Amino acid sequence: MAAQMRPAWHGSQQHVEIEMDMSLAMSFDPDFADPTEWARMYRSVGMQVVPAMSHKENRQQWKRPALPKWRELESELIPDFTFERWYGEEGEHARRNNMGLIAGACSNGIFVVDLDLHKDVRAQAWWDDMFHMKQGAGELETVEQATGGGGIQLFFRAPLGWVPPTCKTSIGVDIRGQGGFAMMPPSTHESGKSYRWKDGHEPWEMDIAPAPQWFCDQITQLAIEHGGSSGVNRVTGEKTASPNKAVDNFGNIVDGREDYMTKLVWAAVVDLKRECPGDLGTLSEKHMLESFATYERKVKSRIQGGYGVSNVDLLEREGRGISMFRHKWSNAIDQWDGKVAEHAAVERPSRPFDQADEPQPVKFYKVDEETGELFIDVVKPTTVDLFEFLDIEGILSLPKPKYLIDKLMIETGLGFVYGPPGCGKSFITIGMGLSICAQRADWFGRAINKTGPVVYISSEGVGDIGTRILAWEKEAGVRVRGLPFYLIQQTINFMAQSDVEKLLRTVAEIGKVAGEFPVTVFVDTVSRVLPGADENLQKDMTLFIGACDAVRNTFGATVVGVHHTSRAGNLRGSTVFDGAGDFLLGIEREEGEMIGEIHARKIKSAEDGWRQAFELKKVTVNDITGEGSLYAAQANAKAEAKSVWPEKQACRDMLNVIRIAWFSGRPLSSYSQTRKQGRYASAVLSQQFDLPEKVVEMMVDTWLSNQILSYEVADKSTKMQGLKVIGSID
């Protein structure tokens, strides 16, 4: 059934010997095949076929595998047991029509040339050139399909020693090389049309052609001249990670810079003509340098420079620096009494040229799928721009939230764990992170559904974080050495563009080291990454949330902020935190107590309001020195029992104590200021009934809101107020 492959890839050199069972492909009948038979046919000719998403599952990015970690499948053909799990008789994807190919080593060097002939005449011109250049009859005759969107895709096998690039180009020709992905029949396009093989060019009718070397050279040249994120600077030879778009996440222009320079120079020279109609003389150089300073502030080099290398130097290396600017300035000055004068005679526009009435771009950080390098992508809306709208079918097809930790923390979410200093929140989050990267089955009894590397950002109290980790190791029984848990201990300013970009590059590098991107990034504490910011100002905290979103959207990671409480006991700072958080966990613990509670104050996609007890244990990690740390664990049964409401009879007994106090003339109070008077209900009842004060506080508040208790004047002469029982417990 399966293609028998013996891969031997060494670095960038590919060589795969393949023995394929073509009998299955030759007997394949597409008219009566179900998804399982399609998949088996593709596998029989050596293709790494995988289940793919439909546009109903993910309207924005549906042309991708329906697998959580498909990047792990790029190197070799999956084993038979994995294929059977997907496409066996009762396989997970046996009824899923959409499927596709992962190109490259895992598919014996197959790559795909994607031609948008229907959209871009330049794609047709390039393909015509290839046909005119072919050195032998039939060299480019190969397996070919028509996509549901109207384009065509041709499948080739790469020769030994050449790795095809994976890149998009500006002329409508895309290459799906190593690690690239292509949808295949019987998949359905979002247009409603199906992908289909061209008659006589089906993979069961002909072999996938080996790409001749001259054609490989042309593809390499195509990537250099017209490539996007995988392109190479033609002047310097340096990879520039171009997103083929306009600006980065902070509004800096990263592409289209020459056009911006031209417009800026012309606008500056015309403005000078308006202000100084005569000859500029030596002032020209001064104004040119001032204008270049404006240009340099607005644009950014696509070359990643080392420490101490300025943006000005990098722009010059790219051919987009002071030399080009000076040349354009000189050309404009040469027309000082001609076109410049004509334009200067026209009334100045009310708005600058670069703020014209056009849709503003939407900016994203992304990671190059081939190299793992960070780059910036921008989606520029068309002039007629509409919000996406869904009908009922589309609404019902929206993907359900996926939980990283069941019913608590969603994937790619943002949340906050907060509490007063010393409540144990850092012990809780460190344990949470270690549980995720250690692939433990659960955290505090809640299933962990997604595991992977964890990044912990903390410049506060990092001296003993190693001891805390060793305490967790000892109590959890999990060896920590080798776990993909990474600490960033430098101070990071989430309000500064340069620091955020440096963080993104660092997380991308961690992803390379770990072999996959982190699934969770902890920020402990939030206040330490906001130097000089006002936590109560919405505009400041919106920038902080934006930085968190950059991390989430770039790496698909969940971001967890560890924060403090206000004096009122709420999450400190602007309400932006509350609104942006997908989950808010309040940590509550009385000073000196080893038992505390996790209070789910908000969980956007699941039930909230619940409380869960935790216990801080003292753990010795070095018997000789006595060095140790605390360890946050799910409370045992005894502690758990103390953190929940007692039985009904005990509740009735507690109400009776309140009733007796009322009639004695010294009623109990729900206000903590009466503690010194011995009338604070939570303190009195917790001591008599062996319950935590927090639990009693919650019980009293509930009874007051349910009109079992009221707060009234007990003695009119002294004006003493207190709790009065006015209802009963059924």
pLDDT, tens digit, for every residue of 543-568? 899 899 999 988 989 999 999 988 76
Two tokens, residue 228: 């996007």
Q: Highest-confidence range of 20-24, 206-210, 278-282, by mean pLDDT? A: 206-210
Q: What does the pLDDT read at residue 238?
A: 37
Two tokens, residue 153: 């895709």
218 and 280 share one domain: no
Identify the burial level of 56 via C-beta atoms within 10 angstroms of its C-beta, where 0-12 means exposed, 13-18 middle and 19 or more buried: middle
636 and 514 share one domain: yes
Q: DSSP assignment, residue 525?
A: -
The CA distance from 379 to 255, in Å, is 12
Report strand pairing: 4-7 vs 16-19: antiparallel
Domain boundary, last residue among 582, 614, 641: 641
203 and 124 share one domain: yes
Nearest to 668 by CA among 659, 677, 680, 660: 680
266 and 382 share one domain: yes
Residue 413 lies in a domain: yes
Angle formed by the axes of helices 213-226 and 121-133, to 10°?
A: 150
The pLDDT of 619-626, averaged and rounded, is 81
Percent of residues, the chain, with pLDDT higher than 90: 33
Percent of residues, the chain, with pLDDT higher than 70: 83
Residue 599 lies in a domain: yes
Residue 665 lies in a domain: yes
The CATH number assigned to the domain holding 613 equals 3.40.50.300
Residue 730 lies in a domain: no
pLDDT tens-digit series, residues 504-555: 999 999 998 998 999 999 999 899 998 877 788 877 788 899 899 999 988 9
pLDDT at 635 over 60: yes
The CA distance from 227 to 240, in Å, is 10
Residue 570 lies in a domain: yes
Q: What does the pLDDT read at residue 244?
A: 37
The CA distance from 24 to 38, in Å, is 10
The alpha helices in 477-537, defined as continuous H runs, are: 497-514
Residue 249's pLDDT band, with cuts at 50, 70 and 90, is very low
Mean pLDDT estimate for the chain: 82
Q: What does the pLDDT read at residue 12?
A: 36
216 and 75 share one domain: yes
497 and 616 share one domain: yes
The CA distance from 45 to 25, in Å, is 7
Domain boundary, last residue among 370, 397, 424: 397
pLDDT tens-digit series, residues 578-591: 888 999 999 988 77
pLDDT tens-digit series, residues 409-446: 999 999 999 999 889 999 999 999 999 999 999 999 99
pLDDT at 234 over 60: no
Domain boundary, last residue among 397, 416, 451: 397
99 membership: H or E segment, kind and range: strand 99-102
Q: What does the pLDDT read at residue 305?
A: 53
Residue 236's pLDDT band, with cuts at 50, 70 and 90, is very low
Note the maximum CA span of the chain: 112
Residue 60's pLDDT band, with cuts at 50, 70 and 90, is low
Would you say the C-alpha torsion 225, 231, 237, 238 has a positive or negative sign? positive
| 680 contacts 668 by C-beta, under 8 angstroms | yes
Q: Highest-confidence range of 469-478, 623-632, 721-730, by mean pLDDT? A: 469-478
Q: What does the pLDDT read at residue 385?
A: 59
Would you say the C-alpha torsion 321, 324, 330, 332 has a positive or negative sign? negative
Residue range of the domain that includes 277:
228-397
Residue 47 lies in a domain: yes
Residue 693's pLDDT band, with cuts at 50, 70 and 90, is confident
Would you say the C-alpha torsion 393, 556, 245, 101 has a positive or negative sign? negative
The type of residue at 697 is E
Q: What does the pLDDT read at residue 361?
A: 54
Residue 334's pLDDT band, with cuts at 50, 70 and 90, is confident
84 and 143 share one domain: yes
The type of residue at 99 is M
Cβ-Cβ contacts under 8 Å for 365 (sequence gap 6 or more): 248, 249, 374, 375, 376, 377, 504, 550, 553, 554
72 and 120 share one domain: yes
Nearest to 56 by CA among 400, 402, 397, 401: 397
| 673 contacts 681 by C-beta, under 8 angstroms | no
| 267 contacts 328 by C-beta, under 8 angstroms | no
Q: What does the pLDDT read at residue 214?
A: 87
Q: Lowest-pLDDT range, 209-213, 363-367, 405-409, 598-602?
A: 363-367
615 by DSSP, 3-state: which?
strand
Considering its fold, how many domains does the chain have in total? Answer: 4
pLDDT tens-digit series, residues 139-190: 888 999 998 888 899 999 998 878 888 888 888 899 999 888 999 999 998 8
Nearest to 432 by CA among 450, 694, 506, 601: 450
pLDDT at 91 over 50: yes
412 and 544 share one domain: yes
Q: What does the pLDDT read at residue 7?
A: 35
Q: What does the pLDDT read at residue 13?
A: 36
222 and 236 share one domain: no
Q: Lowest-pLDDT range, 111-115, 310-314, 515-519?
A: 310-314
The CA distance from 722 to 447, in Å, is 45
The CA distance from 133 to 483, in Å, is 53
Q: What does the pLDDT read at residue 119?
A: 76
Reduce the secondary structure of 484-497 to three states and give it as a string: CEEEECCCCCCCCH
Residue 410 lies in a domain: yes
368 and 408 share one domain: no
125 vs 309 pLDDT, higher one: 125
664 and 602 share one domain: no
Q: How many residues does the chain have?
A: 730
pLDDT tens-digit series, residues 346-399: 755 444 334 434 454 555 666 766 666 776 665 555 555 567 788 888 788 777
Q: What does the pLDDT read at residue 355?
A: 41
Residue 637 lies in a domain: yes
pLDDT tens-digit series, residues 213-231: 888 888 888 887 776 543 3
The CA distance from 618 to 616, in Å, is 7
pLDDT at 321 over 90: no
